[in-house]
Structure 1
Amino acid sequence: MKSILYLVFFLFLLQGCKSPEPRKPISRASESFTTKSLKMNKAIVKKEESYIQELIEKDSVNKYISSADGFWYYYHNQNKKDSLTPKFGDEVEFNYNLLTLQGDTIYSREELGERAYVIDKEEIFTGLRQGLKLMKEGETVTFLFPSHQAYGYYGDNDKIGTHVALKATVTLNEIKPETE
């Protein structure tokens, strides 16, 4: 009787020492969704950028500059005297508006008011954050942002929908360098 009890105990001990076996997934994630999403986003970017290029070609009045960050801009008022541009941690005060590329107002300057923003320490959409870093005090610049530089897939949950390219006219009123 004791030998049977030892045998059962030994079998349970062997079973308990067995390493866990990985379970097979019930459903497999398909790469096709990721591939389709990537292709769709590339097509959206290409369409928006070609539309922006058409707008630039039609505009014979302004001289557009292509930024390294993937948007275009031109100056209304350019400050050629100063060389100070905002850096990480500097506070800037600015006014701006947001329009569709066709010129329809989404948010006016009055609606948005004067904004204070600490460079790279607060949330603001990518294109505007990068655009402010290019500006000097007293300048007014119009930016053309593809949707991936603006509010992208999610929009702003109010007036800006998904994949909306934006036009913004920004006036940088003041740069307050970070005090340590």
Structure 2
Amino acid sequence: MKKYLIFITIITFGACKSPEARYPVTQKSGSYISESIVKNQELLEKEIALIKAVIAEDSTSQYQSSQDGFWYTYQVKTKDSTDTITPEFGDVVSFDYSISTLDDQVIYAEGEKATKTYAIDQEKLFSGLRQGLKLMKEGETVTFLFPSYKAFGYYGDKNKIGTNWPIKTKVTLHKITQGDEIKKQE
């Protein structure tokens, strides 16, 4: 019985040892990530050069650079300087848009995609258009030039837009319904 108690005591105290961390057999360097960063920077530089070439060729439009990394120009007939309301988080907007390549080859024609209703920052939409809509007022038509990372990026749209395509998007904003008005209707 005494041997049995000693055995249980040894097992009890031996089992209280804290676990030791297991370390990886090999450690990888960050070279893949570094290579990827360089590759993406080179891609962005090429796309920006293409966009700047398109802007230089279009002498009829005044393009502006956004803080979000894309360029845009208002259609002269539609720019509204008196209206001050732009969409904000929670507002619902109704708009039409077309998408083409930078050399004006149509990918999605205007009207091919039905009038879209979108709740600002609450639904899925590619990042450039999401940010571009916030710059617009009711009734305006704006042409956006998006580098691929602001458009559909590496994956494309899995339909007509391929991997890493910079695009030109023409957007007409029809109506802004402010979040307060939506809450009153509910």
* TM-score tier after normalising by the smaller chain length: over 0.9
Mapped to 2, the partners of 1:91 and 1:102 lie a distance apart of 32
Runs of 5+ in structure 1 lacking a partner?
none
Mapped to 1, the partners of 2:156 and 2:149 lie a distance apart of 10
Deviation at 1:79, TM superposition (A): 1.2
Counterparts of 1:80-119 in structure 2, within 5 Å, are 80-119=81-120
Counterparts of 1:7-156 in structure 2, within 5 Å, are 7-76=6-75, 77-156=78-157
Deviates more, 1:26-35 or 1:144-153: 26-35
- Between the two proteins, the alignment pairs up a number of residues equal to 179
Equivalent AA in structure 2 for residue 169 of structure 1:
K
Deviates more, 1:141-150 or 1:156-165: 156-165
Equivalent AA in structure 2 for residue 130 of structure 1:
Q
Equivalent AA in structure 1 for residue 80 of structure 2:
N
Mapped to 1, the partners of 2:35 and 2:111 lie a distance apart of 41
Q: Which residue of 1 aligns with 2:176?
A: 175
Deviation at 1:27, TM superposition (A): 4.4
Mapped to 2, the partners of 1:70 and 1:150 lie a distance apart of 11
Q: Which residue of 1 aligns with 2:165?
A: 164
Deviation at 1:93, TM superposition (A): 0.8
- Residue deviations 1:142-177, cap 9 Å, x none? 000001111112211111122111100011111111
Mapped to 2, the partners of 1:12 and 1:161 lie a distance apart of 64
**SS of 1:154 mapped into structure 2:** coil
State TM-score, norm by structure 2: 0.89
Equivalent AA in structure 2 for residue 122 of structure 1:
E
Mapped to 1, the partners of 2:15 and 2:28 lie a distance apart of 32
Q: CA RMSD in A?
A: 1.5
Equivalent AA in structure 2 for residue 42 of structure 1:
Q
Deviation at 1:29, TM superposition (A): 4.3
Percent identical: 45
Mapped to 2, the partners of 1:5 and 1:117 lie a distance apart of 74
Mapped to 1, the partners of 2:4 and 2:85 lie a distance apart of 86
Deviation at 1:12, TM superposition (A): 1.7
Mapped to 2, the partners of 1:103 and 1:15 lie a distance apart of 75
